């Protein structure tokens, strides 16, 4: 049991964390509302365009499309959507600074790894009761380290890829207001008057 835990602890310590995009502390997102002739067709075209730009789809329906787009390709998004839509109703870009979250997560990871190393060194010196207590703490620390590394990976993804949410609206063709009947007498009837009289 001790050997297995020691290997697990070392594995958790040695796994590299991919931070990436250090020079970009911003998480960008865009909320879009657009009017289209065919929502399903528009969704397919948006998906194909995003994949061609190196992005990927998160969600797609006839009402909305959610995707991730490399931040470097974000300046191309508005022009593409304007060409695709009948009317770009809204286009709201937002940005959030990730530096504080990154700093806190990295600091937490460093402290957990330091405690993990210390407890691993104590493991061989402990008696049976102490060994059990240390092993339980090691398992808890390993979970925390893995969670913090997953958090860093998610923040790194946010640095690289913008989140784009597009609401699709469909405008139905309006019915013609005045359609003259081939029966002349119908064109002279006031339906409003008939309704008022309780027809």
Per-residue confidence in pLDDT tens, the chain, 199 aa: 444 444 444 444 444 444 444 557 889 999 999 999 999 999 999 999 999 999 999 999 999 999 999 999 999 999 999 999 989 999 999 998 988 888 888 888 888 888 888 877 776 676 666 677 777 888 888 888 899 899 888 888 888 999 999 999 986 545 455 566 666 665 665 655 555 555 4
Tell me the C-alpha distance between 106 and 110, whole Å.
6
Q: How many domains does the chain have?
A: 1
In a domain, 25, yes or no: yes
Chain mean position to CA 25: 17
Candidates 87, 62, 78; CA nearest to 30 is: 78
In a domain, 198, yes or no: no
In a domain, 178, yes or no: no
DSSP state letter for 173: P
Candidates 59, 60, 74; CA nearest to 27 is: 74
Instruction: State the residue range of the domain holding 142.
Output: 1-173
Tell me the C-alpha distance between 121 and 148, whole Å.
22
In a domain, 134, yes or no: yes
Tell me the C-alpha distance between 165 and 59, whole Å.
9
In a domain, 186, yes or no: no
In a domain, 193, yes or no: no
pTM above 0.85, yes or no: no
> Which residues fall within 8 angstroms of residue 137, CB to CB, at 6 or more apart?
119
In a domain, 191, yes or no: no
Separation in Å, CA 81 to CA 19, 39, 43, 114: 31, 13, 11, 49
Helix (H, G, I), strand (E, B) or coil at 131: helix
Tell me what pLDDT residue 180 has: 62
In a domain, 161, yes or no: yes
């Amino acid at each position: 049991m001790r050997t297995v835990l020691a290997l697990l602890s070392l594995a958790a310590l040695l796994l590299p964390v991919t931070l990436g995009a250090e020079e970009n502390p911003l998480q960008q997102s865009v909320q879009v509302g657009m009017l289209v002739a065919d929502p399903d067709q528009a969704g397919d075209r948006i998906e194909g365009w995003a994949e061609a730009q190196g992005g990927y789809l998160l969600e797609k329906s006839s009402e909305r499309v959610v995707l991730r787009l490399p931040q470097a390709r974000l300046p191309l998004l508005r022009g593409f959507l304007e060409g695709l839509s009948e009317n770009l109703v809204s286009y709201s870009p937002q940005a959030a600074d990730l530096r504080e979250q990154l700093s806190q997560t990295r600091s937490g990871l460093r402290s957990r790894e330091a405690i993990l190393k210390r407890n691993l060194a104590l493991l061989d010196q402990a008696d049976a009761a102490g060994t059990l207590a240390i092993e339980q703490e090691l398992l808890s620390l390993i979970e925390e380290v893995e969670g913090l590394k997953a958090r860093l990976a998610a923040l790194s993804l946010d640095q690289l890829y913008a989140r784009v949410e597009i609401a699709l609206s469909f405008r139905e063709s309006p019915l013609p207001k005045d359609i003259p009947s081939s029966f002349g007498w119908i064109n002279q009837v006031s339906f409003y008057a008939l309704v008022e009289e309780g027809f």
